[in-house]
Amino acid sequence: MKIALQLGVSEEETKFACQVGVEDVVWGVPESPKGYLDPDLLLETRDFFANRGLRLGVIENVPSSFYDKIMFGLPGRDEQIESYCTTLRSMGRAGIKVMSYNWMALGGISTDQIRGRGGALKRRFDLDSALAAPTAALDWRGFFRENRPIHLPDVEVTTEQMWDNLVYFLERVLPTAEEEGVKLAAHPDDAPIPSFLGVARILNSVESFDRLIDAVPSPSNGINFCQGTFSEMPGVDVVKTIRRFGSKGKIFFAHCRDTKGTLPTFTEVFMDEGDTDMIATVQAFREVGFDGLIRADHTPWVVGENPHGHRGFAYQIGYMKGLAHAATAIEQRKGAA
């Protein structure tokens, strides 16, 4: 596996990545009135990173405006699907092989931040608080990003309607993905609750990902294995789940973070203080032959932080590198025994 960071197109962020020894990049796409990514933009972005010694390997989370009608099953979804296929063709031309997407029609859901170790700010989710003040829990990343709108639903969407919309989407975009050699990696719903404000959230369990894979069989249909979100699910063994999907070759991309607690209340924490056996996750990824990108995903907010979270991410990257080195040492010792 290759340790990665999600970066913007800026000198400060690329220098940071190089300084902490990261060579692989995930790009989160800005809003665009076009509703798709054209090949010139992707080629330009790929070359920007390449000229600074970095490899762009994953496109993550195109704006919801690119496919909101698809998720809600609204008129205009077929036009959005064609635009999505245009993005996949652009990725194929640029040699970018993974599209990470989510099916969270209302985006991420969180409730507050709490002080943790040494006063670091940590994201927390509490279901009772979310239900008491639902609009305040929407799009929690908006607290850290400019111009991020709050999305309020004006329709209800049932679980089966949301599944129908997802299958409709996959059946129409996966042939293009296969033609272009691009893999679609679905991220779990965060928080992984069954619905919110009348809109179903369907990728919220291990079994839901079995259903996703089986619903539209394709070598391009798989998972963005977010360790943190799977750790939020009650009763889920993260290590066993890596083996479950990794042994099928269905993990195309991964996120590395950890939590304490599971639904209905959990807190994102530093990687060395959560509930997951982190060294065992690295070993599991190696056992199943995962050779894709795994990026540091979120970080507690530490003293003196900059808008990009570089201090926190430097700690996360260092910890991930330590895990990888430790896993290598354990394997070598076993081989010598």
| pLDDT at residue 137 in the model | 85
Q: Is the pLDDT of residue 146 over 50?
A: no
Residues 6 or more apart from 154 whose CB is under 8 A from it? Answer: none
Burial of 33 (0-12, 13-18, 19+ CB in 10 A): exposed
pLDDT at 148: 47
Give the lowest-confidence range in 157-171, 262-276, 321-335. Answer: 321-335
Q: Could you give the CA distance from residue 286 to residue 144 in angstroms, rounded to a whole number? A: 34
> How buried is 112 (Cβ within 10 angstroms: 0-12 exposed, 13-18 middle, 19+ buried)?
middle
Q: pLDDT value at position 324?
A: 95
Beta bridge partners of 4: 24, 295
| Mean pLDDT, range 54-81, rounded to an integer | 94
Distance CA 186, CA 241 (A): 15
pLDDT at position 328: 92
Spatial CA neighbour of 81 closest among 173, 147, 165: 173
pLDDT reported for residue 242? 98
Can you give the pLDDT at residue 139? 61
Average pLDDT, rounded, for the chain: 93
Residue 141 — pLDDT band, cuts 50, 70, 90? very low
- Go through the domains of the chain in sequence order and give each one's CATH number: 2-336 (3.20.20.150)
3-class DSSP assignment, residue 172: helix
Q: What separation, in Å, do the N-terminal and C-terminal C-alpha atoms of the chain show?
A: 25
% of the chain surpassing 90 pLDDT: 86
Q: For the segment 225-235, what is each residue's pLDDT rounded down to a tens digit?
A: 999 999 999 99
Range in 34-48, 126-140, 153-167, 227-241 with the lowest mean pLDDT:
126-140
Residue 224 has pLDDT above 80, yes or no: yes
* Euclidean distance between CA atoms 325 and 279, whole angstroms: 10
pLDDT of 261 over the 60 cut: yes
Residue pLDDT, tens place only, 272-319: 999 999 999 999 999 999 999 999 998 999 999 999 999 999 999 999
Under the banding of pLDDT at 50, 70 and 90, the label for residue 152 is low
Calculate mean pLDDT across residues 43-59.
98
Q: At residue 102, does pLDDT exceed 80?
A: yes
